[in-house]
Amino acid sequence: MAYYISLYISLAIFAIGLIYKIATWFFLKTSVDSKTIPTAKRVSSALKGIISTIFSSKVLTLVKVFFLDVILQRKVLHEDSFRWLTHILIYGAFMLLLFMHALDKFITSAIFTDYLPTLNPFLFLRDFFGALVIIGICMAIYRRFILKAPRLKTNPMDIYAIILLAIIMASGILLEGTKIGSYSVYKQMVADYADIEEEEELKALTAFWVKEFGTVAPDLKKPFDTELLEEGSEVHEMSCAGCHSRAQWAFVGYSVAFASRGVALSLDRTGIHTLLWYIHFLACFIGLAYLPFSKFFHIITSPLSLLANSVMDKRGSESANIATRQALELDACTHCGQCTSRCSVGVIFEQIQNINILPSEKIQSLKRIVSGKETDEKGLKLILVGTSLCTNCHRCTDVCPAGINLEELWFNMREVLFQKDYQEFSVLSPLSFYRGLMKEGIRQGDYKRPLDLAREAIAAESDLMKNQVKNLTLTRPDREIQGMLGLSDQVSTFKECFACQTCTNVCPVVANYENPMEILGMLPHQIMHAVGLGVRDLAFGSNMIWDCVTCYQCQEQCPQGVRVTEVLFELKNLAIRNVYNLC
């Protein structure tokens, strides 16, 4: 009764959760474009897209991807064979357990008319699959908690997933083990299935089961005499053997029974196997009910993401469908950390402690933004910084075992966050090169906006530049800024500058303008001089430092050996540090 009530409750929660989750794929917005696409359009485009794909040659791609990437997990194998084995053991054997054991009434009985869970090969296979899952879980624990790959983060959801799986497996095995040793279970089986009338026969059978099946009986002790056992064997052959293979075939459960044989009788009296049975099915049902909201949802979403991405691309697919796919992709992440381990800039997390640099964590932040859970300005700014510190190398996307187009997610989310008008200086670095190449897909105003905002922030730094003061009042030099310069080699050479203007004269940026000071503010030699005088505003407030092409002409040709380009680099570093306090 309790079994069916909890089963139906968990099924209902699962169904509601599933419907809710699927609905979110059609209304959550992951990009600037998606904000203007109504849900109805997304639903109709998705249906149209699915139908036209199924009735085209692309269906062959789908079949191929289903076998190679979904079933055989080719992408995981390619990156890391240990992880592949771990995952194949857990998911492969667990699926087999699910079909053969949990759903035996529907699947196994239908295929094998003589199916009985107590008969081989099913008795053996159940334990065999269970053992494989346990090996897999141990490997997963080893990888996450002992091996500790660099920058691999473990979040509560990962721990929950491992714990839930471990509870299901452990309770199942302990249940089986206690049942093997249990005298009450044995008696129940005799009452239900065996046709025994005489006390002697029962005694013989019990002796046989104690000796051969691991049953622990209260009044019988080994060794038994041969005659009794022979009789027991005969009774067994007649009454039991047809429906029950030897318990040793259930080798994991049998080992538990063997190990606990000393306390089996007292355990049996407490009715422990009933308790374990409750734990076992309740753990399964909790897992089922919670599945759409947990990491296990990837069982459904990762295959969908892999399939969708195999037949979709940015140019050929409707933007409504890309919006839907991206919302789905947020659910497809398993937090396996593969992206982070191959991230091109992952290592800088050691220097700039912003968790959003790491792709596996960035996607968690995106989930929070998209579902409206992240509204704090500081948090959003941090996510923008982390999302901006990306070279768009595409490796995260190439290695994602769930096939998520991560790079496109980052790109779109950056644009969404840019619309919040935060000043973000990393847009003024070569990291923006890719954004420039992709600008045709960004509205012109949206493209310029973050760049203009960063420029405004520079201008705001400098009161002196704003006021166009002609004569500077003499002030004490800002020793702080001079002191902060000097991260790289010989930057303090700015002290040697005698303002000969060679740097400015050879600068291709200066040469590009008729009236360079109007556009660039201070010119290179003036900046060197400003740093020398410790005039902070003039050093930071010039566009020149951000418009430097880093061609090193100035540095190469300086007669005094001033590392002009290096000084400009460091001023940029300091400006960024001042605004964001990054490090």
Partner 1 sequence: MDGKAIMKFALFLGCTIPARLPQYESSSRSVLGKLGVELVNIKEFNCCGYPLRNINFKAAVLSSARNLALAERESLNILVLCKCGFGMLKHAAHFMKEIPALRKEINAILKKEGLTYEGDIEIKHLLSVLYHDVGVEVIKEKITKPYTKLKIAAHYGCHALRPKEILQFDDPVNPTLFDNLVRATGAESIDWQARLDCCGAPLFGTNDDLSMDLTEKKLANAKQSGADYLCDACAYCHIQLDTVQGMLNKERGGNHLLPAILYPQLLGLSLDIDSVTLGLAMNKIDITSVEKYLSI
Q: Which range, of 153-161, 215-223, 228-236, 573-581, touches partner 1 by CB under 8 A? A: 573-581
Shortest Cβ 480–partner 1 spacing (Å)? 18
- Count the residues of the shown chain that bind partner 1, applying the rule CB under 8 A: 56
* Alpha helix (H) residue ranges in 475-533: 479-484, 502-506, 508-511, 516-520, 524-533
Task: Calculate the alpha carbon distances from 366 to 350, 369, 410, 415, 441 in Å.
Answer: 22, 5, 9, 13, 21
Return the residues of window 362-421 that contact partner 1 according to CB under 8 A. 389, 391-395
Q: What is the distance, to the nearest Å, from the Cα of residue 300 to the centroid of all Cα atoms in its chain?
A: 15
The residue (of 237 and 556) whose beta carbon lies closer to partner 1 is 556
Q: What is the distance, to the nearest Å, from the Cα of residue 510 to the centroid of all Cα atoms in its chain?
A: 47
3-state SS, residue 583: coil
Q: Which of 240, 180, 237, 232 is nearest to 206 (CA)?
A: 232
The residue (of 116 and 451) whose beta carbon lies closer to partner 1 is 451
Return the residues of window 536-555 that contact partner 1 according to CB under 8 A. 546-547, 549-553, 555
Shortest Cβ 446–partner 1 spacing (Å)? 14
Return the residues of window 427-466 that contact partner 1 according to CB under 8 A. 427-437, 439, 451
* 576 binds partner 1 per the rule CB under 8 A: yes
Among 352, 355, 453, 459, binds partner 1 (CB under 8 A): 352
The residue (of 271 and 430) whose beta carbon lies closer to partner 1 is 430
Shortest Cβ 427–partner 1 spacing (Å)? 7
The first and second tokens of residue 14, run together, are 């699962």
Shortest Cβ 493–partner 1 spacing (Å)? 12
The first and second tokens of residue 254, run together, are 């049998």
Q: Is 43 exposed, middle or buried (0-12, 13-18, 19+ CB in 10 A)?
A: middle
Distance CA 325, CA 33 (A): 13
The residue (of 194 and 393) whose beta carbon lies closer to partner 1 is 393
Distance CA 69, CA 403 (A): 9
Report the length, in residues, of the chain. Answer: 583
* 569 binds partner 1 per the rule CB under 8 A: yes
Shortest Cβ 406–partner 1 spacing (Å)? 13
The residue (of 98 and 579) whose beta carbon lies closer to partner 1 is 579
Distance CA 242, CA 336 (A): 46
Shortest Cβ 14–partner 1 spacing (Å)? 40
Distance CA 132, CA 92 (A): 9
The residue (of 36 and 488) whose beta carbon lies closer to partner 1 is 488
Q: Which range, of 214-222, 245-253, 291-299, 343-351, touches partner 1 by CB under 8 A? A: 343-351
The residue (of 220 and 431) whose beta carbon lies closer to partner 1 is 431
The residue (of 290 and 546) whose beta carbon lies closer to partner 1 is 546
Shortest Cβ 456–partner 1 spacing (Å)? 14
Among 347, 472, 499, 500, binds partner 1 (CB under 8 A): 347
Return the residues of window 301-320 that contact partner 1 according to CB under 8 A. none
Cβ atoms of 372 and 402 within 8 Å: the answer is no
Instruction: Write each residue from 473 to 492 as x if it is in contact with partner 1 (CB under 8 A), else as -, in one continuous string.
Output: --------------xxx---
The residue (of 20 and 433) whose beta carbon lies closer to partner 1 is 433
Give the sign of the dihedral formed by CA 571, CA 574, CA 580, CA 583: positive
Distance CA 369, CA 363 (A): 10
3-state SS, residue 120: coil
Among 44, 120, 274, 344, binds partner 1 (CB under 8 A): 344
Distance CA 246, CA 238 (A): 14
Distance CA 486, CA 434 (A): 30
CB-based contacts of 126, cutoff 8 Å, min separation 6: 97, 100, 101, 117, 250
Among 139, 189, 343, 404, binds partner 1 (CB under 8 A): 343
Q: Which range, of 123-131, 336-344, 364-372, 528-536, touches partner 1 by CB under 8 A? A: 336-344
Among 509, 523, 527, 539, binds partner 1 (CB under 8 A): 509
DSSP letters for 211-228: HHH----SS--SPPPHHH
Which one-letter amino acid corresponds to residue 314? K
The residue (of 44 and 488) whose beta carbon lies closer to partner 1 is 488
* 154 binds partner 1 per the rule CB under 8 A: no
Give the phi and the psi of residue 312 in degrees, each rounded to 5: -120, 150
Shortest Cβ 459–partner 1 spacing (Å)? 15
Shortest Cβ 468–partner 1 spacing (Å)? 22
Q: What is the distance, to the nearest Å, from the Cα of residue 62 to the centroid of all Cα atoms in its chain?
A: 24
Which residues make up the interface to partner 1 (CB under 8 A)?
A: 150, 342-348, 350-352, 389, 391-395, 425-437, 439, 451, 487-489, 508-509, 512, 546-547, 549-553, 555-556, 565, 569-570, 572-573, 576-577, 582-583
